[in-house]
Chains A and B, each alone.
Chain A
Amino acid sequence: MSAAETEVAGPALHVRGLRLAIDGVELLRGVDLDLAAGECLAIVGASGSGKTLTARALLGLAPGRVRASALQFGGTDARRLGERAWRRLRGRRIALVNQDALSALDPLRRIGSEVAEPLRIHRLALDGVHALLARVQLPGRSRSYPHELSGGQRQRALIASALAAGPDVLVADEPTTALDATVQARILELLAELKAGGTAIVLVSHDLGAVARIADRVAVMHEGELVEQGPTAALLAAPVHPAAVALVEAARPSPVRGSSASEAASAETQRDSSSSRPIVLEGRGLVKHFGATTAVAGADLVLRRGEVLGLLGESGSGKTTLARLLLGLERADAGDALLHGEPWSALPERSRRERRGRIQLIGQDPLASFDPRWTGRAILGEALAEAGVARGGRADRIRSLAVDVSLDPALLERWPRELSGGQRQRLAIARALASEPDVLVADEPVSALDAAVRGTILDLLDRLRRERGLAVLVVTHDLEVVRRIGDTVAVMRAGELVEQGPVARVLLEPEHPFTRELLAAAT
C-alpha cells in the first residue's frame, strides 16, 4: 500500500450500477459505491439481501455475469477483465477476508505459508511474512497449522494473508460473526488500525455493533439494492428506509429487565421477591471431565418457576455441557441435578423416562434435531404421542401448538428443511411445549438467526415464561439475549461459574473481572 498509494488517481473504489442476475433472477439491482483510501464503508442488511454477493462481485468472484456502468479500483477499469487479469488484481489491489476462517484456511498448510501465498502469486519478496504476522499479533506462529489456532487467531491469520500483497482495498465479509465478544473486539481494533494506515475497507456485516465501531459510512442493503447510505452515526441514529429502520430497531440494546424505574427496587430486594418462587431445577456441585479436560468444574445453579436464567459464556466455556448435565443427557462425574427437588441426573434413563416431559430442550441447530424424513405435523404428532395425548385429540393439539408459537399451521405440511431458520426454531419450541413442560433448556436458541427474527423468538420465549410460568434456561454467548429476556444470569468461564445474580445487578455492577471484560467487549 505504499508505492501504489501515490499512483492512485481518484477513489480507491468506484462502482456504479453493479448488477448480477442468476437464472433470470436479479440478485443485485444497480449498486453504487464509492470508497476513498483510509475509509471504511459498512454494507449491512438481513441475510439474503445481497451483501455477500456484492462483496464477491467487487473481486470478480460472483457466480454468473456481473454488469456495471463503472467498476474501478484506483482508476483501473475492471469491467472487461478476463480471469487472468483479475488474478493479477486480486490480492494486490483488492483482497477478501472470508466469513469462515476455518474453511478458508487450508488445514494441511502452515500459517506462514498461507500468509506468503499472495506474495508468491504476485512474485513479491517473501521476507515480510513475519512482520505481517506480528502486525496481526500472531508473532512466531508461522509454523502453526490452522487447527492449532483459536477462531480469533485464524481470522487474524486470514487478515494477514489478505494484507500480504498490500492491497488498497480490503473486503471483509462478516469477519467477526463466528467469534466471541472479546475476540470480536480485538479483530475490530485490528481493522481500525489498518484503516488508520490508509487501507480502504468494505465491511460486510449484519452486526450493527461492529459497524458502529469502525465504519465511517454505512450502506443498507435490501433485496439487491442499496436503499440508504450515510455517515455511520447519523444513519444509525435516524434511519429512513423501512429496511434500515428494522435493522436498527432489532439491534437496539434492550433495557435490562428489572432496571426500569417501575421495578427500581435494589438488587437485594429483587432477589428476595424471586426467592419466594418454587425451585424447579437445581444443580449441585456438578462436575464433568472429558479425558484430561474439565468441562464443568463444580457448578451450583438454581432455576425457579417463571424465571429466565441466562447461562452466559464464550465458546468452549462448558456452558453447553452444563446444560446437558442438567438435562440428564450427560452423566455427571460428581454432583447432582435435581428436578422439582427430586433426584434426576443420578437416575438411570429408565426411571427418568416418565418425567422426561417435564424438562425439554431447544437445540442449537433446530434442523438437525428433526428426523429428515418427517414433516412438521409428524414431528409434533410424535411429541404429543410421547406426552400421552390420545390419537384422536392430536390434530387439534398440533394446531394449537403451532398457534401458540405463532407458526402458520399450513407450514406443518412441509419438511423442516423447507422452513426458514425462524420457522424451524418455532417448530422446535412447539415440539418442546407438547408435553407442557416446567423447564425449557434453550441452547443458543437464536445464534443462527437474523437480528430481526432473533427478537421475535426471544419475545416468544419471554411470553411463554409469563403466560405459563415456564422456567427457562438460556445458554448463550450473546449478552444481548440475557439483557433482553434474562431475570438472573450465571457467567461461566473455563468450566466455572464465576458470577451469578439478578441480571440488573450483574450487568450494571459486575463483580468479577471476567464479567467486566465481557461487558466491555460488548459495548
Chain B
Amino acid sequence: MSAVVPGARRALVLPRWRPGAVPALIAAVVLALLLLAALWPSLIAPGSPTATDARAGTLPPGAEHWFGTDRSGRDVFTRVVHGAGASLGLGLGATGLALVAGGLLGTLAGLAPRRVDGVLARAVDVLMALPEFLVALLLIAILGPGTGSVLVAVALAAVPAYARVARVRTQQLARSAFVESALVLGQRPWKRMLRHVLPNLLGPLLTMAALGLGTAIVSAAGLGFLGLGATPPAPEWGVLLSEGRNLLGTAWWVAVFPGAAITVSVVCASVLGRWLGGRR
C-alpha cells in the first residue's frame, strides 16, 4: 500500500506549529532520550546493571552513584537506564500489537454483515466494561507469568478500545460521500478500502495509540511490580519498584527513581499524544 497515492501530501506526520507545541516538544525530546536509553543503554550507563558490590550497599545518591545503590550495591542509575528497554519495549510492543489487532478487528466488524458485526460489537462492549488492568491480570492468570505473557496480556486488554473506534470510524467512512464518489467512478471495493477508508482510519487510531502508550507502560510496570513479568535480577522498572518497596523508610532512592522514570515516560507520552490528537 506504499505510494498508491500520487500527489497526496500527508498531513499526518509533520504537524503544524500551534499553541501547546513547547510542552509537546519537551515531551518529544525526553521520550527520545528514553528511547535512546532503551536502544543503547551502555552509551548512557556503561556499567553492568546486575553487578553487585557488597561494600557499596544502599549508598545514597552522590557523585559516584547518581541514583544511589540498592541493598546488593547495584547502581540504581544503571539499572533504571537498562530497565528502559524492557519497560518501554513492553509498552510500545503491547500498544503496537493492540493497534494492529484492534484496528483489524474493528475494521472487519465495521464492514461485516450486520449479524457478525453485532456479535463482535457486543463482545467488545463486554470487554470494555472491565478495567484494562483487570483483563490483563486475568490473561496472565491464564497464560502464566513471564515477559511474553505481559506483552500479550497488556495488548489484548487494550484491543477493545481500538476495535471500537476502528469499527465506528469504518462505518462512517464506508458511508461517506467521498467513498461513494469513488464507487461512482467505478472503483473496486478493495481499492476503496485501501485508498480511502484505511488511510483516514489511521489518523484517529495513531492518536489513540500515542495516548494509550502511557497506559500500556503503567500496566506492564504494574504487572512487573506484582512479580508476574520479568524475573527479579532483570532491571525492569516495575521489578525495580517492587525491590525498593521495603526500603522506602531507609533507602527511598531505590524505589523513587524507577517510579520517577515510569511517571516521566507516561506523562511525556500523554502530553505528546494529546498534542497530536488535538490537531485540526
Query: What is the distance, in angstroms, from A337's C-beta to the closest C-beta of chain B?
Result: 14
Whether B177 and A368, one on each chain, are in contact in the complex, defined by CB atoms closer than 8 angstroms, is yes
Residues 364-379 of A contacting B (Cβ, < 8 Å): 365, 368-375, 377-378
Q: How large is the interface on B (under 10, 10 to 19, 20 to 34, 35 or more residues)?
A: 20 to 34
**Chain A residue, CB-CB nearest to B199:** A373
Given contacts A356-B184, A363-B181, contact A381 B10 (CB under 8 A): no
Whether A369 and B186, one on each chain, are in contact in the complex, defined by CB atoms closer than 8 angstroms, is no
Q: In the complex, what distance in Å separates the CA atom of A356 from the CA atom of B184?
A: 6
Whether A356 and B185, one on each chain, are in contact in the complex, defined by CB atoms closer than 8 angstroms, is yes
Query: What is the distance, in angstroms, from B18's C-beta to the closest C-beta of chain A?
Result: 16
CB neighbours (8 Å) of A327 from chain B are 184
Whether A368 and B9, one on each chain, are in contact in the complex, defined by CB atoms closer than 8 angstroms, is no
Task: Flag whether A148 is at the interface (Cβ < 8 A).
Answer: no
Task: Flag whether B125 is at the interface (Cβ < 8 A).
Answer: no
CB neighbours (8 Å) of B184 from chain A are 327, 329, 356, 360-361
Whether B200 and A353, one on each chain, are in contact in the complex, defined by CB atoms closer than 8 angstroms, is no
Whether B178 and A375, one on each chain, are in contact in the complex, defined by CB atoms closer than 8 angstroms, is no
Given contacts A371-B196, A373-B200, contact A382 B185 (CB under 8 A): yes
Whether B188 and A353, one on each chain, are in contact in the complex, defined by CB atoms closer than 8 angstroms, is yes
Q: In the complex, what distance in Å separates the CA atom of A382 from the CA atom of B188?
A: 12
**Chain A residue, CB-CB nearest to B10:** A373
Whether B7 and A381, one on each chain, are in contact in the complex, defined by CB atoms closer than 8 angstroms, is yes
CB neighbours (8 Å) of B7 from chain A are 374-375, 377-378, 381
In the complex, per-residue mask of A433-468: 1 if CB is within 8 Å of any chain B CB, else 0: 011000000000000000000000000000000000
Whether B177 and A374, one on each chain, are in contact in the complex, defined by CB atoms closer than 8 angstroms, is no
Whether B177 and A369, one on each chain, are in contact in the complex, defined by CB atoms closer than 8 angstroms, is yes
Whether B185 and A372, one on each chain, are in contact in the complex, defined by CB atoms closer than 8 angstroms, is no
Query: What is the distance, in angstroms, from A138's C-beta to the closest C-beta of chain B?
Result: 35
Interface-central residue, B10, B181, B195, by most chain A CB under 10 Å: B181
Whether A371 and B187, one on each chain, are in contact in the complex, defined by CB atoms closer than 8 angstroms, is no
Task: Flag whether A354 is at the interface (Cβ < 8 A).
Answer: yes
In the complex, per-residue mask of B184-218: 1 if CB is within 8 Å of any chain A CB, else 0: 11111000000110011000000000000000000
Given contacts A363-B177, A365-B177, A370-B181, contact A375 B8 (CB under 8 A): yes
**Chain A residue, CB-CB nearest to B186:** A356
Q: In the complex, what distance in Å separates the CA atom of A387 from the CA atom of B187?
A: 9
Q: Which of B8, B11, B181, B196 has a CB less than 8 Å from the CB of A431?
A: B181
Residues 134-172 of A contacting B (Cβ, < 8 Å): none
Task: Flag whether B72 is at the interface (Cβ < 8 A).
Answer: no
CB neighbours (8 Å) of A435 from chain B are 185-186
Whether A382 and B11, one on each chain, are in contact in the complex, defined by CB atoms closer than 8 angstroms, is no
CB neighbours (8 Å) of B9 from chain A are 375
Interchain residue pairs with CB less than 8 A apart (13):
A329-B180, A329-B183, A356-B184, A360-B184, A368-B178, A371-B178, A373-B5, A382-B182, A386-B185, A386-B187, A387-B185, A387-B186, A435-B186
20 further A-B pairs in the complex, CB-CB below 8 A; given A371-B196, A434-B185: A329-B184, A353-B186, A360-B185, A361-B184, A363-B177, A363-B181, A368-B176, A368-B178, A373-B8, A373-B10, A373-B200, A378-B5, A378-B8, A381-B6, A383-B185, A386-B182, A386-B187, A387-B185, A435-B185, A435-B186
Chain A contacts to B: CB under 8 angstroms:
327, 329, 349, 353-357, 360-361, 363, 365, 368-375, 377-378, 381-383, 386-387, 431, 434-435
